[in-house]
Amino acid sequence: MSKLSHIDDKGEARMVDVSGKAATARRAVAEGFISMRPETLALVETGEAKKGDVIGAARIAGIMAAKKTHDLIPLCHPLAITKASLDFAISHKPSGIHVTAEVKVSGQTGVEMEALTAVTVACLTLYDMLKAADKTMVIEGVRLVEKTGGKSGAFTAPERRKERS
């Protein structure tokens, strides 16, 4: 196993020193899925959820989360994010909402954690806004889909099966 970048020679946690790295264009895409009963999904589709525009609120929460990742995840660098966007796709089989986040920066470190945090917080917001109707919702499949830029180069996750159980 390679040496972990957040652990120093004494085994102590540290923030990685990126001051010697050149700023480059970096991008990360993450995804997640929140499954729910068809009746709950219908509330989202018709706009009849008691708390209002749940997707609009989840989009804003995800963008805010990307910008605040360094406050939530220890040892993450604060970044001047140049783009944070979220997309929501309704799914009837399985019943739920697929959430995708894209984050960009021109900087010395990547934005994978920001994209993952955006997706997770967006899904949590959907749960919060719909929990009165459905406490059986499940957040699943949160993962990095793609990243570009930086020393480690490009990464694309393997394709997932379309059908979830």
Q: How far apart are CA 51 and CA 55, in angstroms?
A: 11
Quote the CATH superfamily of domain 24-150.
Molybdopterin cofactor biosynthesis C (MoaC) domain (3.30.70.640)
| Nearest Cα to Cα of residue 145 among 31, 34, 59 | 31
- Domain limits of the chain? 24-150
What pLDDT score does 2 carry? 56
Give pTM, 2 decimals: 0.90
pLDDT tens over the chain, length 165 residues: 456 677 778 888 888 888 888 889 999 999 999 999 999 999 999 999 999 899 999 999 999 999 999 999 988 999 999 999 999 999 999 999 999 999 999 998 999 999 999 999 999 999 999 999 999 999 999 999 999 998 888 999 998 866 544
Q: Which residues are catalytic?
A: 128
Q: How far apart are CA 28 and CA 51, in angstroms?
A: 31
